[in-house]
Structures are given as structure tokens and as C-alpha cells.
Amino acid sequence: MQLPSLQHLAAETARVARRFPLTLLCAFVLCGAGFYLIQRDTSAGPQENELSWLFPLLSAAGLGLPLTLALALMAERYGWRPGTHAVVQLGGLGLLGVWYALAPAEPNLIWVLRLVLLLLAAHLAVAAGPYLAELRGAADTPGFWRYNETLFLRILTAGLYSGVLFGGCALALLAIDNLFGVKLDGRWYGYLFVGLATVFNTWFFLAGVPASFAALEQPAPYPKGLKVFTQFVLLPLVVLYFAILYAYLGRILLTWTLPQGWVSVLVLALAVAGIFALLLIHPIRQAAENAWISTFARWFYRALFPLLGLLAVAIGTRISEYGITEERYFVLLLAGWLLGMAAYFLWRRGQGIIWIPASLGLLALLAAGGPWGAFAVAERSQLGQLRDLSQQFNLLQNGHLDGAAQRQPNLPFKARQRLSSVFEFFANRDALPRLQPLFAASLTPPDSMRNLPRQQQRLPRTDWKERPFTLTGYDRISRYATEKDSRESVQRVNFGTERSGDTNEVYDLGNGRYWINDINVYEYNGFAAAGKPVVWIPLADNSSFRLRVLRFGQQLVLEQRQGPGQWQQRLAVSPGALADSLATVHGRNPADYRVNLTTKNLTLRATSPTLTLQLYLNDLTREQRGDTVRYNYSARALLEVR
């Protein structure tokens, strides 16, 4: 086999860039954002690290990869004119812009699930988009299956190449570091991973996307390895799942008990594995030596019906007790889809496989939003559960739940558990205001809390999630707890101050005095060499200071924020100078490594007309290797602002 020349590689690279420019642009955006996250200064304080654009940008670029690819392939397949293609691509970019504008800086569960649904729909659009015309066809064409086979194998190949390249290049960097003594920044490994996972992986995959749809319709040999994998790996697993589930179904009928909710997972896994296996061997189902495939397909779909009934009973029981959540919505949706697919393929005798990705993609898109979507339906169901529960046990007074525990102190355990489940549902989705009609006190956080930087909102926001429990007077009960657990459980609460890596336990003592409880400067954390801030000090008047270490820990400077990204040095202390002077007295390499001194000997002070900084060193180490001297220390400090 002749290796490709550099000219050929350059030509292929340019061809992919001309064919899929927007898809590659999305890959470069992901790569650039990843590089920025790796190299950014994580110790500059919450105000500078407030990356409100991060999730919107990453998610928009992630959605843009399959969306722009699907549109480009549809344009090639259907022969759209350049003007039409440009308008459609601009429309796709517009949708990504809308997502970027609407997406929150810090996503909750709803936004994460919505992103997953849209990603699924976009990827299925790549699989089915160029062949949507076959939805009206009487029989499958070879092109659709070979097109998706090519994409599937190319994804696996791209992942293999990217993984091997990363392992090899990472090992090369490690060898340079250890053999030649070249101290490489550890972030190079992150750059390497992000670059290969985004730009290289995408570019390599796109280079293998079929360029001629007509060529896909020509006869081609079926991969023997694929048949072996399906026949001797996937199908035996499907048979095993069938045996387990039908044995469980028989047990239920004999004991006349309700099925467990977990059985839904196994039924869905069985259905997915079976349909995937049948898709893999679809092109050879008509061959005389493969008559067993058609027989297996017919009995597979027929055997699904009783198991789908089992699934419906299991999920219906959970819904009747606890209402609909997004997870139960998806299970119901997939059960309905599987029922429709099973009936359809029995009617069409296995023809029309394009309906699998096309219908599933449409359902994923519809479930992502709207009043019929998973999130709106789940919220309405849970709100209805709360109303029913409140009326059943007379928890309302003047239409409100405030103080319900005082009116109904002996609420049954199951009712309290359901109440807790509903409160947690809305709290975890930042949707407590939806419960406002049932509460007299406000469930909306005050503006003073919502306007705080995200990192400073975390503790108050966590407390605010307890608001419904505080107002009603009922305790939180885990969904997994039993009534026996509730009777025997020990109630425990812990109170403490918020610990944050950005504030380093800064305490406001009042009258302009601030106590910094934990300052650590060690060479291994990179601060000493890079001159990075080690402490961020927010003041009561919304201004801020920071402590930054210079010259391998030799000096610690106090800087005041003057504006976005602008800091002015106000004071400086020199632990390095202190360590040097102590070393002249006690020696640079004493027999007893540890020299115990008084607090007075390890205290530094710097002052100005408006500021005073006192640094109390707990530990101070001077380390000299050749001509390089490094200083490692831990300390506490008192800052006085006049």
C-alpha cells in the first residue's frame, strides 16, 4: 500500500474545508474555548472568572457540528442552488445564535436534558436528512444503509486515530520531560487532548464522509466482520435479555405482583440492541443462506409486545404514585415509539428502516420544548401532584401551604415523602417560583441574592432551595427512605462558614478589618513561579484586593482592583528576605531541617496611610538548587483598610 503524499494530504484537507466550512468552524470554536479554559488564570477571583459565555458558546458549537453537517449533506443530496444553500446555512447559524442568547450561564437539569435531546435530534438528522425522500418509498435502497455504515465506521476510525495519536504524543512529551530535563507545562497535555478531540477528530471524520451519493447505490460486498459481530455477539445478548424478561414476566403472573420500575431499563436495552442488530444485518436479509434473519425479525417484533405491556405497567405504577418526571416521560415516549416501530415493521415486513432515525429524531426535537415537551408536561404533573396532596390531607389554609406542619403535624410518611419529592423536583430545576400560587411568602430569591456573582450565590442559593420546607415546616425525606428508616433515623444538621478556593476563608471582622485564614504558597501549585494570585479578598463596599506571589515566593504583594483586569500594587512583604536573613543565622542546610521560632520572628508587616497588612507565617521553607532559590510557606494575615 502506497502512503499518501504531503500534497495529497494538503489537497484532502483543503477539500474538506471547502466542503464543510461551518462544521470545521464549530470545531475550531470548541478547540479555542477549550484552550482558553486550560490556560486561564483560575485564581483571579470570581469577578474575573465569571464566564457567562462558556456554556452558551460550548453548547452552541456542539450543536453546530451535527446541524451544519446535516444541512451541508442535504444540500449536496438534493442539489440545492448556492443561494438556497447559503440561506439555509444562515438559518442554521441563526438558530445557534438564538440558543446562545437563551442558554443560561450555569445550566440546570432542564437545560442539560434539552441539550442532550437537541444533540440527539441533530445527529439523527445527519443520518436521515439526505434520504428523507425514501420515507415515501415502497422499498429500501442500498444507499441509505451504506451511507450510515460509512459514517458509523468513520466515527470509530476517527476515535481510534485520535486516541492513538494522543497516547503517542503524550508519551513523547513525557519522554522529553524526563530524558532531556525540559520542564514542560502540564497544560500541554490538555492542549493536545482538546486539539485532537475537536479539530483533528472532526476533520478526519469529515474526510471520510461520502462525496458521491450515486456511488452508494452500487452493489458492494458486505463486511464479514460486521455479520460475525452481529450474529455471535449482539443477537445472543438479545436472546439472553428475552429469556430474563420472559422469566420475570412469568414470575409476575404467578405471584400476581406489580413489576419493579427497573424492568423498564432492561426492556429498553433489549429493544435498542435488537433493533441495532437488525439494522446491521439489514442488507443481507434476502440472501438464501440468511433466511433466518427474516424469521428472527418477525419473532423479535412480536415478542416485544408483551414486554412493552410489562414496561407500561411498571412505568404506569410509578406515574400513578409520583406523577410524571422527565425520565418517566422519556420512558413513555420510547415505549410508544417502540410499539409503533414494531407494528410498522411487521406490516412492512422489515422495509422502511429510514423511519427509525427519522421518527426518533422528530420525537427528540418535539420533546425538547413546547407545552407538549418533557419539561412542561413534567412540571404540570408535579404541580398537580402537589395540589392533590394538599387537598387530600387538608394542608391548605386560605389556599396556601405556609405553616402546613402546624395544622397537620401527623402527616403520613408516604405523603411527606411525596411532598418532599415535589419540592425537590422544582428546587433542582430552579423553578420554585412555579409553586408561588400555593405559598403566601415569596419563593423568588431577592434581587440582592440574584445579582451576586455566581460563585457567591452558591451557598445562599442552596439555602433558598430549602425554602418550601422552611415555609411548610416539614423535613426533607429521601425518595429511597422507608417508614422504618424515618422512625429510626437521627436528625443531624451542621453549621459552618462557606469554604471557597477563591476566597481562602476571608472573614470580615468589621471596621475595615479582614482576616485571611489560609495562605499557601508552594512550588507544586505553580503559584510561586508564575506570579499568580493566591488570595482574593472581597470587601464590604464591593471593591476587592488580592495577594499575588512573585519571584518563586520571594515577595507577596497586595494589589487593589482598579477596573476589569486592572490591578494596582498597594503593599508588599518579603517572606524571601526574611528566610534569607534567618538562613544566615541558622544555616542554609542545618542538620535538623526544622528550626522552631517564635511567632514574633515569623511576622511581617507593611503599612501605608490607608492600609496595613500583617502576615503571620506558620511555616517558611527556603530551598536552593544551584542559583535558583524558592520559598514555600503557609500563613495567615490581617488586612486593615482605613
**What 3 state SS string does 562-587 have?**
EECCEEEEEEEECHHHHHHHHHHHHC
Domain boundary among 316, 338, 369: 369
pLDDT grade, residue 592 (50/70/90)? low
| Residue 83 maps to a domain | yes
Strand order in the sheet with 628-641: 506-510, 513-521, 628-641, 611-625, 603-607
Mean pLDDT of 146-169: 95
- Please say whether the beta carbons of 120 and 361 come within 8 A: yes
**DSSP string computed for 403-438:** THHHH-TT--HHHHHHHHHHHHHHHHTT-GGGGGGG
Distance from the Cα of residue 342 to its chain's centroid: 33
Half-sphere exposure of 599 (CA within 13 A, CB side): 6
How many independent structural domains does the chain possess?
4
Grid coordinates in use for 61?
A: 458549537
The answer on 298 and 229 residing in a single domain is yes
* Gyration radius from the chain CA atoms: 32
| Residue 495 maps to a domain | no
User: CA-to-CA distance for 111 and 374, rounded, in angstroms?
Assistant: 12
| Residue 490 maps to a domain | no
Is the model more confident about 528 or about 595? 595
User: CA-to-CA distance for 256 and 313, rounded, in angstroms?
Assistant: 13
Strand order in the sheet with 544-550: 533-538, 544-550, 555-563, 566-573
pLDDT, averaged across the chain:
86
φ and ψ at residue 508, rounded to 5 degrees: -85, 110
pLDDT beyond 90 at 147: yes
Beta pairing partners, 607: 612
pLDDT beyond 80 at 446: no
pLDDT beyond 90 at 56: yes
The answer on 243 and 200 residing in a single domain is no
Q: What is the largest CA-CA distance in the chain?
A: 96
The answer on 205 and 72 residing in a single domain is yes
Is the model more confident about 62 or about 429? 62
The answer on 631 and 517 residing in a single domain is yes
pLDDT beyond 50 at 164: yes
Grid coordinates in use for 163?
A: 486516541
| Residue 70 maps to a domain | yes
Specify the pLDDT at position 492: 60
pLDDT grade, residue 392 (50/70/90)? very high
Reduce the secondary structure of 309-336 to three states and give it as a string.
HHHHHHHHHHHHHHCCCHHHHHHHHHHH
Contacts of 253 (CB under 8 A, 6+ apart): none
pLDDT grade, residue 200 (50/70/90)? very high
- Please say whether the beta carbons of 636 and 516 come within 8 A: yes
Specify the pLDDT at position 1: 54
The answer on 178 and 266 residing in a single domain is no
Mean pLDDT is highest, among 40-54, 288-302, 348-362, 532-546, for: 348-362
User: CA-to-CA distance for 423 and 417, rounded, in angstroms?
Assistant: 10
The answer on 477 and 381 residing in a single domain is yes
Per residue in 479-520, pLDDT tens? 777 777 666 555 665 555 555 444 457 888 888 899 988 888
User: CA-to-CA distance for 521 and 529, rounded, in angstroms?
Assistant: 10
User: CA-to-CA distance for 18 and 128, rounded, in angstroms?
Assistant: 23
Q: Is 552 left (phi over 0), alpha (psi -120 to 50) or beta?
A: left
| Residue 497 maps to a domain | no
Specify the pLDDT at position 112: 94
Domain boundary among 190, 217, 244: 217
φ and ψ at residue 44, rounded to 5 degrees: -85, -5
Reduce the secondary structure of 456-473 to three states and give it as a string.
HHHHHHHHHCCHHHHHHC
User: CA-to-CA distance for 447 and 344, rounded, in angstroms?
Assistant: 54
pLDDT beyond 60 at 457: no
Grid coordinates in use for 438?
A: 400555593
Reduce the secondary structure of 540-557 to three states and give it as a string.
CCCCEEEEEEECCCCEEE
Per-residue exposure over 499-536, b if at least 16 CB sit within 10 Å of its own CB, e if not:
eeebbbbbeeeeebebebebbebbeeeebbbeebbbbb
Closest CA to 271 of 339, 206, 223, 207: 339
**DSSP string computed for 145-180:** HHHHHHHHHHHHHHHHHHHHHHHHHHHHHHHHHHHS
| Residue 88 maps to a domain | yes
Specify the pLDDT at position 477: 86
Specify the pLDDT at position 491: 61
Specify the pLDDT at position 501: 47
Is the model more confident about 355 or about 4? 355
Tell me the C-alpha to C-alpha distance, in Å, between residue 519 and each of 19, 522, 599. 54, 10, 16
What DSSP state is assigned to residue 505? S
**DSSP string computed for 377-392:** HHHHHHHHHHHHHHHH
**Parallel, antiparallel, or unpaired: how do β-strands 555-563 and 566-573 relate?**
antiparallel
Per residue in 124-142, pLDDT tens? 999 999 999 888 876 678 8
- Please say whether the beta carbons of 423 and 372 come within 8 A: no
Is the model more confident about 463 or about 85? 85
- Please say whether the beta carbons of 567 and 561 come within 8 A: yes
The answer on 71 and 142 residing in a single domain is yes
- Please say whether the beta carbons of 616 and 636 come within 8 A: yes
pLDDT beyond 80 at 49: no
pLDDT grade, residue 106 (50/70/90)? confident
- Please say whether the beta carbons of 147 and 466 come within 8 A: no
Distance from the Cα of residue 295 to its chain's centroid: 42
The answer on 439 and 335 residing in a single domain is no
Collapsing DSSP to helix, strand or coil, 480 comes out as coil
Grid coordinates in use for 451?
A: 445579582
Mean pLDDT of 268-287: 86
The answer on 363 and 399 residing in a single domain is no
State the distance between the two ends of the chain, measured CA to CA, in whole angstroms. Answer: 78
Task: Tell me which of 143-157, 519-533, 582-596 is least confident.
Answer: 519-533
pLDDT grade, residue 180 (50/70/90)? confident
| Residue 494 maps to a domain | no
Specify the pLDDT at position 142: 86
Collapsing DSSP to helix, strand or coil, 449 comes out as helix
φ and ψ at residue 377, rounded to 5 degrees: -65, -45
pLDDT grade, residue 542 (50/70/90)? low
Specify the pLDDT at position 529: 47
Per residue in 306-363, pLDDT tens? 999 999 999 998 898 889 999 999 999 999 999 999 999 899 887 889 999 999 999 9
Q: What percent of the chain has pLDDT over 90?
A: 47
pLDDT grade, residue 462 (50/70/90)? very low
Tell me the C-alpha to C-alpha distance, in Å, between residue 199 and each of 35, 56, 96, 185, 203. 12, 19, 19, 22, 6
| Residue 547 maps to a domain | yes
The answer on 186 and 50 residing in a single domain is yes
Burial class (CB in 10 A: 0-12, 13-18, 19+), 352: buried
The answer on 363 and 289 residing in a single domain is yes
Total Cβ atoms within 10 A of residue 202? 23
User: CA-to-CA distance for 131 and 144, rounded, in angstroms?
Assistant: 7
Task: Tell me which of 64-68, 89-93, 118-122, 579-583 is least confident.
Answer: 579-583
Domain extent, residue 278, equals 224-369
The answer on 287 and 249 residing in a single domain is yes
Q: What percent of the chain has pLDDT over 70?
A: 89
Domain boundary among 188, 217, 246: 217
